[in-house]
Amino acid sequence: MTLLMEKQSQRLKHPAAFVAVAAILLTFAAAAAVPSPLYVVYQQLWGFSAATLTVIFAVYVAALILALLMLGALSDHVGRRPVLAGAVALEAVALLLFVLAGDVTTLIAARIVQGVATGAALSTLGATLIDLNPRHAPGRAGLISGIAPVAGLGVGALGSGVLVEYAPFPTHLIYALLLAGMVLAAIAVALLPETAGRRPGGAASLVPKLGVPARLRADLLALVPIIVASWALGGLYMSLGPSVAADSFGLHDHLVGGLVVTLVCGAGAVTSFLLRRMPTPRVLAIAGAGLAAGGVIGVGGLVVESLALAALGSIVSGVGFGAASLASFGTLARIAAPHERGELMAVALVVSYVAFSLPAVIAGVLAGRIGLHETALGYGGAVAVLGAVALIAQLARQKA
């Protein structure tokens, strides 16, 4: 008993633990975005097609989704810390594979391992944030769960672009820095307090499944249109954004490749913060309007070959992306009971990443057949339509 009390006294206090978990979430999101500006470099080195590029992108998401299905509820049974420790260790393995990558096969292997690590981490980190949420700020966990992934994607893409363009060892340095970040994450996990008690059913939870308690289904289904629209947009920018910038506007600077992603994610992170006190229905309406308008403006920029208009479309789309993330994750944080948090976050993330990956894979196949520019036009138009549908669905729900 005395030894147990000593161990607990050595853990981080809840405020510091909350900050540490938010930082780990940011780091995982940044690591996921880092390969995007590097895809063009890998294409130049190894000569693969846009279709192969989207396969590399897709295997990551497939592995992530499988991990969510199998591991999403595991922390509800065995505790948060063991799952987080495993996720950090796997992410470190993935980063080592990126450093060693000399061909497409190794790159695909790295992305698969990274997908498993990220899937194991995301739902557990989201649930841990809710567990540690300060009592005086009941919406903070939802706010951080909405901002940190979007901000992390932007930081990772921009940082990668800067290092690829201006630093030595473009396909190695960024991963070495992230490895150092994972060492710090491992230390933080070792010091975290355990926020979820053990309960039976851990082995059974590994059977891939999606389940949402009946009382939460209506709330989750109401969020599906905006989740699909926003993450489909993210998939476009993360997989093909830098390549579209190079193909349509002749922008081959790797920093620009990172900025393409950062425009969307940076605008999204700022939007999430600015709208944090706004009622959720209004935030959802802003999300739908931003995604619809941003898609239209972005497509217009591609049609008239206006870089300024395309950039404006990215920013407006980012506003919709950030608002959607804030409203959806904020709602999930509010409605889930402690024993439901891991599984509910996993279900929402599965929906998100299916929308993130499937359209991007289809776009990669089409790009090889009809051209990247034409594919980007069709994809942008589809996102605009999805945003409009999400907006209409939210307005109809508010009137009901």
Look at residue 21 in the predicted model and tell me its pLDDT: 94
HSE-up (13 A, CA, CB side) for residue 124: 34
Find out whether 13 and 30 touch, Cβ atoms under 8 Å.
no
Residue positions counted in the chain: 400
The residues near 369 (Cβ < 8 Å, ≥ 6 apart) are none
Residue 78 has pLDDT above 80, yes or no: yes
What pLDDT was estimated at residue 5? 42
Helix runs in 250-370, H state only = 254-274, 280-303, 307-335, 341-370
Most confidently predicted of 93-102, 154-163, 260-269: 93-102
| DSSP-H helix ranges across 167-213 | 173-191
Amino acid 220: pLDDT = 81
Nearest Cα to Cα of residue 253 among 151, 344, 133, 170: 170
What gap in Å lies between CA 391 and CA 26, rounded to an integer? Answer: 28
Fold for 11-399, please state it: Growth Hormone; Chain: A; (1.20.1250)
- Out of 65-69, 317-321, 347-351, the most confident range is 317-321
Rounded Cα–Cα distance for residues 297 and 14 (Å): 44
Give pLDDT, residue 9.
52
Structure confidence by residue, pLDDT tens digits, 211-268: 677 787 888 888 888 888 888 888 777 767 777 777 776 766 667 666 777 888 888 8
Q: Which of 348, 314, 344 is nearest to 328 (CA)?
A: 348
Residue 153, pLDDT above cutoff 50: yes
Sorting pLDDT into bands at 50, 70 and 90, what band is 45? confident
Asked whether the predicted pLDDT for residue 4 surpasses 70, the reply is: no
The average pLDDT across 49-72 equals: 81
Question: Is pLDDT at 6 greater than 50 in this prediction?
Answer: no
DSSP state of 138: T
Greatest Cα-to-Cα distance within the chain, rounded to the nearest angstrom:
72
Q: What is the pLDDT of residues 120-131, one digit of tens each?
A: 898 789 888 988
The SS3 of residue 108 is helix
Domain ranges of the chain: 11-399
Gap between the Cα atoms of 332 and 312, Å rounded:
30
Q: How far apart are CA 109 and CA 59, in angstroms?
A: 9
